[in-house]
Structures are given as structure tokens and as C-alpha cells.
Amino acid sequence: MTSLLEVKNLEVSFRNGKDVFTGVSDVTFHVNKGEILCIVGESGSGKSITTLSVMGLLGKNGAVENGSILFDGVELFGKSEKELDNIRGSKIAMIFQDALTSLNPVFTIGNQMLEAILSHSKLSKKEAEEKAKYLLGKVGLSDTEALLKKYPHTLSGGMRQRVMIAMALAGEPKLLIADEPTTALDVTIQAQIMELLKDLNKELDMSVILITHDMGVVAEMADRVLVMYAGEVVEEAPVNVLFHSPGHPYTKALLRSIP
């Protein structure tokens, strides 16, 4: 199997005046083409920082100090903002926990879908509308014509997350990063969104990094698992290996906590 993403010796720090805080250090892992890699680890262990680094979205006080981020054969570390924009805007997409804060409340779903689509292609408005409806259908939403005219707050949490996934698909990404995408949703809706991510992974051959703290989700979804603890990777293994012979004490504790 070939890797789509190879992160090596990643070190990220944050500056606050004279204080420097190391967010993650020596993080090394890879994502194979077409696979789902789950990242687990307790709150504050560096899961989000690791994936935000790949997206170049650390914010102004955060920086990648060291390491290499090879995406589809291209080194991202050290690239200009403009070059990164091209890559992260289309080939890598990301969705977050709270779809309501990711969507702009004053614009319709249609406005935001069209903006996402037109930022990746030179389609006419009419063609972009067709594509918007197609993508909304792809993520399991119906009555897409009416949906385009709606505002984000009028949708349920599950529908909003589906819309975010549809927008993420606009650039036909090779990698989708989902950072705890269902934490804010009801349990039954969580399962449906996970099912959708799995279907899209298979159908589109799109690699997925799924950050979750739910080991049940890991068992369902993951091809391989990365376990993070205190800003470091403590384990990287195929899911069945991890469940049957966990190597690190934290992983063992995690597995014992499964009801």
C-alpha cells in the first residue's frame, strides 16, 4: 500500500509572549491511500494540533518547528501560504465537531455550497447549483432544491454536519480529516454520520483521518489506529492488532474502559 500522507518528527509549539509551549513533539505516522486512520487519545493529547498542522491552520501563535509533512509526494512544511491554500483547499478537506459554527448563519446553504464549489472550479452558476444538489444528495440529504434556500439554524445538527461533509467534498479531496465530527450529535445520528463517512471512504476511495474518543467507533471504522498521549504518538497499529495486543499502558486503559 502506498501512503498518501507521511508525517515525520512533527514538532509544534505555541508562543504567548516569552512563553513557549510545546503542543506535540516527534509525531510520526502515515495514512495509506484509501484507508481510515482513527486518532484516539485523551483531551489535550495533541490530536487536533497534529491535524491542524497538516492543514496549515495552527493560528498565528502556533508554528511547526520541525518535521516533515509529505502529502501525495509533496512536502508541505515550509511552503508559502499561497501554495498551501491550493493544496489544503482542495486535496485535503476538514470537518469539525460543531457544524453550526463552521457555517455562516447569515447565508443560505445554497450560497455557501456555491462558494465552496466555485472556489474549486470554473463552473457556471447553473452548473454549480446542479453540483450542489448532487453533493447534497451524495451525503444522504433529500429535497435538495428547497434545502439550498434554507439557513443553517433551521437544520438539525445531523443535517448541518451532512452539509459540511457535502461542502468538504466540493474539491474532490483525497483526504478528509474529521475532528470529532459527531461529538455534538445524538447517538443515533452519530451512527448515521459514521456510516456516511465509511460509505464515502469506500465509494470515493478517499482516505479519512477520524479523530474520536469513542473506541466503539474505532472498532467500527478504523483500518489503523494512532494513539496519542501527552503530545506524543504512543502507538500506531492496525485496528485488530491494537485491540488484541495493545502495547502502551494508556491503550490498555482505553480498551478496559469499553463497556
The reply to whether 238 sits near ligand ADP by the rule CB under 6 A is no
Site residue total, ligand ADP (CB under 6 A): 14
Please pick, from the candidates 47, 133, 138, 174, the single residue that binds ligand ADP as defined by CB under 6 A: 47
- Least Å distance, CB 47 to Mg ion, is 5
Q: Does 59 bind ligand ADP (CB under 6 A)?
A: yes
SS3 254: helix
Contacting range for ligand ADP; rule: CB under 6 A; set: 38-46, 89-97, 109-117, 142-150: 38-46
Q: How far apart, in whole angstroms, are the C-alpha atoms of residue 37 and residue 29?
A: 10
Given candidates 23, 67, 158, 171, which one binds ligand ADP under the rule CB under 6 A? 23
Output the smallest distance, CB 9 to Mg ion, in A.
21
Under the rule (CB under 5 A), what is the footprint of Mg ion?
48
**Shorter beta-carbon distance to Mg ion: residue 48 or 182:** 48
Give pairs for 72-75: CB < 8 Å, separation 24+.
72/4, 72/5, 72/174
CB of 82 to Mg ion, least distance (A): 27
Segments of 151-223 assigned E as strands: 175-179, 207-211
| The one among 9, 44, 66, 74 contacting ligand ADP by CB under 6 A | 44
Nearest to 24, CA basis, from 3, 5, 8, 37: 8
> Dihedral of CA 125/129/131/136: which sign?
positive
6 pairs with which residues across the strands?
A: 30, 70
**70, 2 Cβ separation under 8 angstroms:** no
Query: Shortest gap between Cβ of 58 and ligand ADP (angstroms)?
Result: 7
Least distance (Å) from Mg ion to the CB of residue 18? 26
Least separation in angstroms between CB 47 and ligand ADP: 3
Write down the least CB distance from residue 228 to ligand ADP, Å: 6
Residue 14 in contact with ligand ADP, rule: CB under 6 A = yes
Q: Which three cell numbers stand for residue 17?
A: 509572549
The amino acid at 209: I
Backbone φ and ψ for 103, nearest 5 degrees, come out as -95, 145
Among 7, 27, 41, 227, binds ligand ADP (CB under 6 A): 41
Tell me the three state secondary structure of residue 64.
strand
Closest CA to 71 of 24, 26, 2, 7: 7
Choose the binding region for ligand ADP from 54-62, 64-72, 134-142, 245-253 (rule: CB under 6 A). 54-62
78 in contact with ligand ADP (CB under 6 A): no
When asked if residue 56 is in the footprint of ligand ADP (CB under 6 A), the reply is no
Query: Could you tell me which residues are beta bridge partners of residue 210?
Result: 38, 178
Q: Give me the residue label for grid cell 485488530.
A: 240
Interacting residues toward ligand ADP by CB under 6 A: 14, 21, 23, 41, 43-49, 59, 61-62
